[in-house]
Every structure is written in structure tokens, then in C-alpha cells.
Amino acid sequence: MKHCSTALAVILFCAFVLPGVAQTVPQGKPAESGKQLPLSLSPPKRVVPDSVRIEEIFVLSPADRELYRQIYAAQNRADWAEAERLIKRLDDRILVGQVLSDRYLSPRYKGSFDELARWMRNYSDLPMADRIYKLALNRKPPKAAAPTPPDPDSLTVTPPGRIYTPEELVRIRAARDARLEIQGFLDQGLTPQAEQRFWASGRNLFDKDQFSLILGKIAASYFYQGNDAKALALGTSSGAGTGKNRYNGNWIAGLSAWRTNDYRRAATSFEKAAIAADNEPWTASSAAFWAARARLASRQPEQVNVWLDQAARFPKTFYGMLAARQLGRDINFTWEHPPLTRRDYDRVLGEKAARRSVALWQVGQLEASDWEMRYLWRRSDETLHPLLLGLAARLDLPSTQIRVAKALDRKQILSSNSALYPMPTWTPKDGFKVDRALIFAFMRQESEFSIRAVSSSGARGLMQLMPKTASYIGRDQTLQDRNGEMLYDPSFNMQLGQRYIEYLMGKDYLGTNLFFVAGAYNGGPGNLGRWLQKMNFKNDPLLFMETIPAEETRDYVEKVVANFWIYQMRMGQKAPTLDAVAAGGWPMYNSQDRDM
């Protein structure tokens, strides 16, 4: 270990990189995290000249604003006659289409075909037009004309593709059939059969990209089943080619070599993976960080900082933050709202959908306002998107903010941390019992703050609760059937989601370990318990995370914990779990909100 004295960062790094040094799995007591490195506090917001102030954002007059609020209240009581009476008093009818769609889609109102068809003639450009159209078709009399269809989101012209020869078509179809068969074996955990099928046709049937991709998947399956020798051999073969899918094979080869204590080979594989990642933030930072770990473990400390520097280039990723911590660097984010000048605001309000969104925001219909803004974003010119982001930030529309901000950040048009990590004003029905940073971290990953999000498996709402889980936590069986709509209420959904997190933290084998809790929230506590018994993670917290056999859960744990750290930074809090993981320990949650 004498080499560790060459640099402060390496001294810090030694605590967590070598086998046997990692702490034992804690049973409730937070890990000692060592000296707290500085975190940036939220800076004061800079006032941008000519920036639009919140009090300047309005569409409706005070009188119409009050009328619309009364109309929505009447419809919530199913007082349709009163709503109609109030509608007739409106000067600005910009939200009448929204009001009527709420009525027609209500389970307490059965709209006639004529009403629905009339709505489609007048409001086919609204976000809910698809739902109204389907309802109208279901209620169309046999001889009635079909209703006006919804406006298409966009017209996409597909350029003509190349023309294949008959021989090429035969090979393409055979490759497709082989891929499906191999994937079927992998889905069933039949990895040897998948490998056998691959080699029966692989080199002759698949192109170099397909070859690397499929062989990498087979290697990964062996790794998560505990067969490191096979995973290392196939992962190395997968990563040795020139195809664009070399990352996964090298990554799996690196993990397999690490788990068998072959650290030099692990370092080589991780370095190849980092290069193959081609600057994709999450994969590049992961591979670079593990390359640094492996170089130190193989007694080559002079190469550690090179790879830590590479990982730290991506500060909003899990491993990027760990790398910055190990290098002793501050993690500095700015939290200013994206800009919106008066000229920008006037241009945005030239779009009718933007005016509807502002009007809906004025009358307290925040979900509909958010939906309208997202609908406009999908249909509008790209030059308008930074302006929409500025308006969405001022209206506190978190779902629009995160989606538009991600797209702009990915295209390197605009980067806005405050929009990437919005802080909605929703509160659990019984108040926050768990730190806001952690609740926001889960919501950001679960639904991206979409109130009516529904997964393919049926999970609902902001915190993506399965009705069965919600009924158990909420002790209300009706949440599985007639009262399932309650899960779309933000306060109620957050209340049950928070209770579920507390429930998981109360289990002895999970405790307050955030890796375990996040893994159980996504993969189920039963699965997490079985994985803990079967996985060979050598008591290494980071190897535990990378050894989780379910790909979705691995990604989920990494993203939720990274979200948590960034939200803590946004709130000006310390991040002791970041320090703990950087020091080789487990991320043991301890409330900071209660200490403020």
C-alpha cells in the first residue's frame, strides 16, 4: 500500500477500492463517512434584465378566472346545469374545450354522440382529442358520419430505404429469427442454450454490431448467474471487435475479472469500455470510475487520477459525483431558472396551446396546464423549446420542465439544472415524514413528475404505485378497483409512496440502506431478499449495485441515489451518503429535514 501516498486523492480512494476493506453490511447504524467535503449551496438567483416576472404571466381577466374556477367546481359536483349557466357568462372562451372534455370524460356524465362529434369539430387540436374521438366512435349510431379525427402530432416522411437482394433478405430474416430465439432462451435463464444457438449461426449470420451486442447479452447473463469464467471469456470476445456495441462486453468482462480478483485484466476491460462508451455520460463515467478502482487494486496508483478525471467530467451521474468526491473537488451546480424575456414570452403566447396552458394554470388546473404545455412541445418548432422551458419553470410545471430540459440538454442547446431537477410544491397528505430530497428522487425516476403516469404493469401516479401495493399500505382494498383513480391525486399518491418507503426501511434486512430500499421499491422486497442471499458481491457496496440481476433495478438504484444527492445539493444540504459510498461504505439514510 506504500504507493497510496503519492496523492491525496489516492489516499482517500484506498479506503474503498480494495477487497476486504469495504464495510460489513450495516444493521441500522449509519456508516461513518469521514470528513465532509464541501458541497455548493444554492446561490442567490440572478435577476436577468427584461426577464418576465410571475405576476406578469396571465391570459384571463380576474372575472373570467373566477368564472372558470366556479365552472370547474360545479363540474366536480356533477352540477352540469350550473356549469352551463356559468359558461354563458364568459368573455374569454379559451378553456371551454378543456371544460367540456372534462365533462365528457367524467364517469358521472354520459355524453351523446352529437356532443362528442361537435367537440371534435371544434377542438380536435386539444391534447385529449384522442380520448374524445375513441369515445365518439363507440357511441356513433350505425348511419351517422364518422367524427372529425384528431390533428396528427406531426407529419413524418420516411425516406426510401435501400433495396435488398433476395439473398440479403433471406439472411436478414434468418438473423431476426435467431435473435428472437436467443432472447427467448435468455428470458428463461437458459444461458447455455442461448450460447449454443448463437455459435450455431453467429459469425456467418450476424453483422459485427449484432455479433457484439448478442454475445455481450449472453456474457451478461452468465455474469448475473455467477459464472464469471464464462462471462469473462464471452465478454472479452464481445468487446474485442470493431462494432458499435463493444461497451457491454468489455463492461461485463471487467466486472467478472474484478469479482475473480484479476484486477489488471479488470482495469484493461473497464478502460476499453470507457472508450467504447463514446462520452455517453452514465456508461462512460461508470467504466472510467471502475477503471480507476481496478488500477488502484492492481497496485498502479499513478493511473488512478487519470480515470477519476474522466468519470468526473459527468457531474450529474452517480459515478461522476463519486469521482469528484474522491478527487476532493467541489460539486458546483447553478440553479437559476432558464431565461424568459418579455419578447420570448410574447412569442410563446402567440401559440394558442401556450395561452391555454397559462389560463389553466391561472384557474388551478395544474395537471391540465402541464399536459397542454407538453403537447405543444411535441408539436412545435425546436426554436420554441427553450422559451417553453422558461415559461414552464415560472409556472412550476415539473413534468414539462424535466422532459424539455432533458431534450435540450441532450442536444446541447441549453442546460438548466433547475428544470432537470424541479421541486414541485406538492405535499403528501399527512406531510413529509421522509426527506423531500428522497421523495423527489423517487418521483423523478418513477414518473418524471407526471401525475397520471401509468406503467405497462399498471403502476400509477407520481410514485408509480401498484394498486395491490397501495391497497396494502393504505389498508383500503377499494384502491384496487373502484377507487383506483385516487392514486392519481398527488397528495394521496405521495402519502402512500412515502409510507411504502418507511415500510421498506422498517424491514430488518433492508434497514435504511438506500441501495437496498431503492432496489426493493423497484424490484420488490421479496426479490431483493432473494438476491441478497444469492448474489456474490463480496461485501462491496458498489459491486452489490452492479450485480443486481435485474437490469431495470440496477439502473433504478443508481439513478435514484444520484437524484437524491443532487436534490440535497439543490436544497443546500450535506450529502453524507455520498461521502459514505465514496469512502467504501453503504448509503445509510438519516433525515436532514428534521435537523433543519
Residue 28 phi, psi (nearest 5): 115, -30
Please return the burial class of 273, using the count of CB atoms within 10 Å of its CB with bins 0-12, 13-18 and 19+: buried
| Distance, CA of 432 to CA of 487 (rounded, Å) | 18
Q: What is the DSSP string of 445-503?
A: HHTTT-TT-B-TT--BTTTTB-HHHHHHHHT-GGGGTTTGGGGGSHHHHHHHHHHHHHH
Q: Could you tell me the end-to-end alpha-carbon distance of the chain, in angstroms, rounded to an integer?
A: 41
Write out the catalytic residue numbers: 446
From the list 5, 11, 98, 28, the residue with the least C-alpha distance to 511 is 28
Q: Are 46 and 574 in contact (CB under 8 A)?
A: no
| Distance, CA of 520 to CA of 514 (rounded, Å) | 10
Q: Which residues pair with 513 in a beta bridge?
A: 588
Q: What is the DSSP string of 243-310?
A: STTHHHHHHHHHHHHHHTT-HHHHHHHHHHHHHHTTT-HHHHHHHHHHHHHHHHHTT-GGGHHHHHHH
From the list 318, 308, 324, 326, the residue with the least C-alpha distance to 554 is 318
| Distance, CA of 306 to CA of 55 (rounded, Å) | 50
Cell for 314? 459527468
**Largest Cα–Cα separation, the chain:** 88
C-alpha to C-alpha distances, 181 to 192, 205, 222, nearest whole angstrom:
13, 14, 17
Q: Are 556 and 441 in contact (CB under 8 A)?
A: no
Cell for 398? 415539473
| Distance, CA of 13 to CA of 30 (rounded, Å) | 20
